[in-house]
Chain A
């Protein structure tokens, strides 16, 4: 039965992508980025951190596709290597907020009452801060390390997931199949985790996809202002920050290529969102 299921899922996915070519492009882009993140280190022509001062600040050429930076490092190699770090930060952070937010939000939406009110106000407090400033403050307080960037990004994303799961569960809590689950002997906790949560996942996956782009920007932004990953690590935000100094002298490639990488990544994940919802929703199938 599972093989039938898998093939019908595949067929459905193909159908959705055909009707929505932009999603298909985004999906290809996302897969491409993931492959680069995994196999990047095997592909790069140069060591991303090895400086080669005589070759500094070369414009794009056959030898250095994206040119070289002020220390003579190959910009192309650095961009490829940075993919893994940037995606890893974003994916981990978003996954953490997804799991925690989904559970807390669903419980609040189902139980209502005091728990809902308390969590609701806490979320409001969290959202009252400018989120990027909050992330900056957390990284500054916790220390300038990758895991702290992940935690900060996860926390500032959390309110969206809590609110989303809460609202989605809240509209479903009185439906017949939820009451039926209770009549069939499920406890309230099991109703939330085994019945309601799987039904709100498609919507949350869309949120996750949109958030991934945002989390990448957030991580890059933190590095850009010097609160993220430390140089000489290859990271898109740092590369843009370092390259910015050379823009006035016409060395555009230092900023343009990492900026382009950021843009492509963010765009891919955002475009993926809508298509993903259609793919994951069982009711969209026939």
Chain B
């Protein structure tokens, strides 16, 4: 029988915190064969990263392996001395992280950093190490590697930095690579390139890989076996097709349902019985012909100080109650566009008509006095930084009411805030809490309650669920969809997640480098893209509904 490369037996990891001991991993058992690719999926707090850190013994001081064994090539890592670990790190087990730019030393050329990693583990001359580094840059398919050797991390894109990290990780031919959310924060097309590269290198070198991710689609596409973690335990383990077609465990079922696919509908995201009670909403009659659109954006341009246009000649119209998606990769100008429409920044040229009124000419610094301010509201991306840390949830929701509707503190205000909290499903007793005392989903609800408090007519949603776990995202998306139909709200939905946009939006506009590439009815656009760029985007999205495409047979 072949012995496994890595065997985790009944692993327990605890963290000592102010609230006492927290059990991050409680009884995890897992094994991995040489050359195998395993996906470790779960939501935040499931202990998937902690497991990865435990295997590399990179737990910070508060974390402790309380029980269990981690056998790597039959050697117990939990008992390894620091000398053993030195040899283990890099040479036998390597790790790559989320946010590659932060993991690289900003003041040292990347070529030298790769050479450093080689010199740390092998007896070679500096010159040999440099030659080897150059070869590695070639291996990770960085264009013009000779020149990139001397580049600093800030001169490289996020995808290139991650390739450099991969080069460092594979520099000493490790047998096991742990990739912790390696492509989170990268664009889908970049994600695809990086993951394809990683899969190719792993296959060529016979390197086992543990891919830690929250993205079921990614795990399904690149892994032969997927393990699902919940609350520090392994709940289910199978090949991706079986796991996602017929999940056995209750938690896996929920996770699979909550992950948007190419065909899912908003109402399917939360399993029956757990969904918020469906509110019957009467469909409003379509607006009479001849009514002006709610929003009419005409040829807006935004140039920043350096003169390069971030958005060029962007035009769109929106009817009341319509939902339009704005998709594109980083640097496509989608955030800039949404902020211009929301009148937080000024367009350099062009006209924006809201309900027939010209609003582009009112400077953003004075727009807070406009009576239309309350009609255009925005929900921000990261709920962690969209709430003032010194405001309670109540203060956050009351703020626009005090400012824009000139309400006074008192019973009316309290009732109105509570009503908003009820509408977004935020328990009233949480209103007294401060943002850091709320979970990510609760913070997202506060952000939405604040945006709808004044009953706006247009809501700009800037990646509203990008920072949330899929199960929370599912609930928030349902909530947004319900609010839209209840209030006949128009949505401008900015996102990089095509599956979400397809589900939430009637129409979609694809942006690239500040210009519109393609637009049309969402389902048609994604089913049958007309431009190469849109097709590339659509194909880069990992789907777990379809069989894994990249596995070498």
Contacts and interface: CB of A to CB of B under 8 A. Distances in A.
Interface of A: 1, 15, 175-177, 179-188, 195, 198-199, 282-283, 285-286
* Nearest 10 pairs of A and B residues by beta carbon: A176-B386, A176-B380, A185-B403, A184-B400, A185-B404, A177-B388, A175-B385, A185-B368, A283-B436, A176-B385
Contact of B365 (A177, A179, A180, A187): A187
Interface string B370-397: 0001101110111001111111000000
Given A181-B399, A187-B365, 4 more contacts: A185-B400, A285-B436, A286-B18, A286-B437
Contacts of B378: 179-180, 183
B365 A282 contact: no
Contacts, number: 77
Contact of A199 (B376, B377, B388): B388
B374 A199 contact: no
Nearest to A177: B388
B365 A188 contact: yes
A195 B388 contact: yes
A195 B389 CA distance: 9
A68 B542 CA distance: 85
Given A187-B368, A199-B388, A282-B436, A180 B19 contact: no
A176 B390 contact: no
Contacts of B376: 183
Contacts of A187: 365, 368-369
A90 to B, nearest CB: 28
B450 interface: yes
B447 interface: yes
Contacts of B18: 15, 286
Contacts of A199: 388-390
Contacts of A175: 385-386
A24 B436 CA distance: 26
B390 A286 contact: no
A25 B373 CA distance: 52
A241 B78 CA distance: 63
Contacts of A1: 432
Given A181-B399, A185-B403, A176 B432 contact: no
Contacts of B451: 183
B368 A182 contact: yes
A79 B285 CA distance: 84
A283 B434 CA distance: 9
B377 A183 contact: yes
A286 B386 contact: no
A179 B374 contact: no
Contacts of B450: 180, 184
B344 interface: yes
Given A180-B378, A185-B374, A185-B400, A286 B368 contact: no
B403 A186 contact: yes
B497 to A, nearest CB: 18
B70 interface: no
Nearest to A198: B390
Contacts of A188: 365
Contacts of B377: 183
B19 A286 contact: yes
Given A176-B380, A282-B436, A283-B436, A181 B404 contact: no
B295 interface: no
Contacts of A180: 378, 380, 386-388, 447, 450
B342 interface: yes
A108 to B, nearest CB: 17
B471 to A, nearest CB: 23
B7 to A, nearest CB: 37
A205 to B, nearest CB: 14
Nearest to A191: B368
A182 B344 contact: yes
A176 B380 CA distance: 6
Contacts of B365: 187-188
A185 B403 CA distance: 6
A180 B446 CA distance: 12
Contacts of A177: 380, 385-389, 391
Contacts of B374: 185
Interface string B422-447: 00000000001010110000000001
Nearest to B397: A184
Contact of A282 (B364, B369, B390, B432): B390
A183 B374 CA distance: 8
B449 to A, nearest CB: 12
A176 B447 CA distance: 10
Contacts of A185: 368-369, 373-374, 400, 403-404
B404 A184 contact: yes
A65 to B, nearest CB: 44
A34 to B, nearest CB: 27
Nearest to B394: A1
Interface in B178-231: none
